[in-house]
Amino acid sequence: FFPKHFIRPGVSDTNWHIQDPASQRLTWNKPPVNVLVIRKIRDESLVEPFKELCRFLVEEKQMMVYVERRVADDATLSKDEAFGSICNQLCTFREGYDDISDCIDLIICLGGDGTLLYASSLFQGSVPPVMAFHLGSLGFLTPFKFESYKTEVAKVFEGNAAITLRSRLKVKVVKDMLQIEHNGLLPHGHTNSEADKVTLQLQVRAEILTEEYSLDRGPSPYLSNVDLYLDGRLITSVQGDGVIVSTPTGSTAYAAAAGASMIHPNVPAIMVTPICPHSLSFRPIVVPAGVELMITLSPDARNTAWVSFDGRKRQEIQYGDCIKITTSCYPVPSICCHDLVYDWFESLAQCLHWNVRKKQARPADMSDSSDTEN
DSSP secondary structure string, 146-161? Answer: GGGHHHHHHHHHH--E
Beta strands of the chain (E only): which ranges? 25-26, 34-39, 64-68, 91-93, 106-111, 130-134, 161-166, 169-174, 206-210, 212-216, 224-230, 233-240, 242-246, 269-275, 285-288, 293-297, 305-309, 312-317, 322-327, 332-335
In the sheet that holds 212-216, the strands lie side by side as: 285-288, 269-275, 242-246, 212-216, 305-309, 312-317
227 is catalytic: no
Burial class (CB within 10 angstroms; exposed 0-12, middle 13-18, buried 19+) of 184: exposed
Q: Tell me if residue 246 falls in helix, strand or coil.
A: strand
- Given 113, 216, 310, 343, which residue is catalytic? 113
Contact partners, residue 87, CB within 8 Å, separation at least 6 = 72, 77, 78
Counting DSSP H helices and E strands in the chain, the numbers are: 11, 20
Distances from the Cα of 87 to the Cα of 72, 218, 301, 355, angstroms: 7, 43, 54, 46
Residues catalogued as catalytic: 113
